[in-house]
Amino acid sequence: MPKVLVVDDSALMRRLVSNVLTEAGYEVDTARNGAEGIERVTDWQPDVVTLDVNMPEMDGLTALSLIMQARPTPVIMLSSLTEQGARVTLEALALGAVDYIPKPGGTISLSVDDVADQLLQKVRAASRARPRYRAAAEAGTRSGPSATAARPASAQRLAAAAVARARAPAPPARVGRPEGLVLVGVSTGGPRTLEDILPALPADFPWPVLVAQHMPANFTTAFARRMDSLCALRVRECSSALPVEPGTIYIAQGGTDMVVSEYLGRLTVKPRPETPGHPWHPSVDVMVESALQHLPAAQLIGVQLTGMGNDGARAMAQLKRGGGRTIAESERSAVVFGMPQELIAADGATLVLDAQAVARQLMLWAPAHA
């Protein structure tokens, strides 16, 4: 079984998390702070690390950055801050963490039982993941206890996105249906991968982009804001019914499913309660199926990115059979190859591409001046 290092300043949390993992057959070691965790990663070479964010001596974000430099290892963030402060979790994911779990609150011994299945599922997926390191300056994150602002390279990146949005001509407004839609499904490893793709799309990209990223309700608002700061396109969270317009990326709201609909002859997206029978939300299958009800498959592009499970494979394969085009992320670049692999196995992938090549392909399929 894989080796798991539990890094947490709380002795109780170290014991409780270790017990869950040990009972499942994992070999477990522990560290009391970030500095000790880095040392154990180097010496013991675990397959997965669970890492608290808020620790003395060295905080989790600093430890994560140094772990990824010293020995890139799949890291799952485990902290109360991940539930209350989505921004910190998104910084960790940008630095290379593969996933996150809200640290139990209240009566800890009871709350750990509530997240035990989630912990084991994510550790199992992380043990097969390929972590991808990005320096703090490039990722637009802070590192170190005293860091309070983005570093210069990050500031330049944000400024470049703002200038591109301001200078590029906006796509012409259209009443009714757009020429087409890009439908993106993604799960584990998604925020980091989307930062490789969506900021590369120009402000005049003509097709609206819909994104179903498996994420809880209290994370997607912060995620949409972060992506809006990085992208030339406008980024909006689908927290209510919105018209589908060129020049816009729509992020499905956590805790809901985003569906394509129609109102007064115009396409819209809107959230609806999680659809029974679908284990992952926001659901990729539900989003794609709803789009197929309002546009021909030939006017849709499906993009299946990193993540565990098979959400989206069935609907995107249907899209391809109907004459649409699809991209599955390659095993080489995917943090977790599950979702793209399922699409490929269903003969649903028109192309298999590294994440870094996806934006360029979308621009070829949906040219700005078609």
Q: Which residues are 101's β-sheet partners? A: 78
**What number of helices (H) and strands (E) belong to the chain?**
14, 15
Residue 121 CB coordination number (10 Å): 15
Q: Is 330 a catalytic residue?
A: no
Q: Which residues are 79's β-sheet partners? A: 102
Alpha carbon distance 148, 316 (integer Å): 42
What is the C-alpha R_g of the chain? 20
Q: Catalytic residue, from 59, 196, 311, 333: name it.
A: 311
Q: Is 285 a catalytic residue?
A: no
Q: Is 311 a catalytic residue?
A: yes
Torsion of CA 34, 40, 42, 46, to 10 degrees: -110
Q: Catalytic residue, from 79, 99, 196, 214: name it.
A: 214
In terms of DSSP H, where are the helices of 322-367? 338-345, 358-365
Nearest to 71 by CA among 120, 19, 5, 27: 5
Burial of 337 (0-12, 13-18, 19+ CB in 10 A): buried
Q: How far is CA 129 from CA 8, 150, 209, 331, 335, in A?
A: 22, 28, 26, 10, 5
Q: Catalytic residue, from 187, 239, 283, 333: name it.
A: 187
Helix (H) or strand (E) segment spanning residue 342: helix 338-345
Active site residues: 187, 214, 311
